[in-house]
Amino acid sequence: MKPLTGKIAVVTGGSRGTGKAIALELADLGADVAVTARTVAAGDSVLPGTIGETKTALDERGVRSLAIAADLTDPKAPARVVDEVLATFGRCDILVNNAADTGDNVFADFWQTPPESWNAQVQVNLNAMYALMWGFAPSMRDNGGGFMINLGSMKEPPGVLVPGGMALGPDVRLGATYPTTKVAIYAMTSFVGNQLAEDNIIVTCVNPGGAASESHYHHMKRLGIEPSPTPLTMPVKTVAYIVTCDDPMTRFAARYVDAVEFAQGEGLASLDD
């Protein structure tokens, strides 16, 4: 038997990139997988990949799958995701909070970010994460525990920015909203993780380290910046390790994990993958 046989995993932002790769890895390890995303049809995004294509790839692996079209900018969407997963599978053992707003407004400066834009990004990047944790926690508690993996992107310690802000290249920097939410994810994971550990629920923040997803390549090409050398295998193998290792409570509850450093240190993946 594969190590995750009989387990139910939920992965947000699963139409492409890190989310899709994690969903397929968990399926390869035996889990039945529900994926959410807002890209339903080709053309809904400038990037390739749809929720249906991910479901097809999951089905080809012989696991049960569920694709939920959900726009997490809608505050009501997380509760609907929880309801559909529990109605289909009856439980959730692994929640991977991967979805984030990675559109062009990530680079919008203060004057280009009115409160409604700020709120929409915070809703996707942070509030939806919390709502999904809140929704699935009772199922995990009732079934003896589980995993919540929150994808962040800030190096530890959180909130320490390079001079001049998050500069990515000449005249290119992140706006305030995206890094603010990512720092908040780290803090949320720490506080929520310490409490949920009492119910054997392991909450971990994983920094994927600028993994070279379709979104990453899109932005780097558009901005004329050299793409990151970090392959998707690093965050993917790190998440897989967390949910299958011995004694995850001691090693990963309420912890921060840098996927690049961890994957290299454990021999899970390298920059040559």
Of 15-19, 44-48, 116-120, 232-236, the poorest mean pLDDT is in: 44-48
Residue 107: DSSP 8-state: G
What pLDDT, in 10s, does the model give residues 232-265?
999 999 999 999 999 999 999 999 999 999 999 9
Helix (H) or strand (E) holding 191: helix 177-196
**pLDDT band of 38, cuts 50, 70, 90:** confident
Average pLDDT, the chain: 89
Locate 70 and state its tokens: 């959900």
Locate 115 and state its tokens: 């409160």
pTM above 0.85, yes or no: yes
User: Going from the N-terminus, what domains does the chain have, and what CATH number goes with each?
Assistant: 8-266 (3.40.50.720)
- Return the pLDDT at 104: 82
- Return the pLDDT at 61: 97
User: What average pLDDT does the segment 129-138 reach?
Assistant: 98
Q: In this predicted model, which residue has the larger pLDDT, 165 or 32?
A: 32
Has residue 103 got a pLDDT over 70? yes
Q: Which residues contact 249 (CB under 8 A, 6 or more apart)?
A: 197, 200, 202
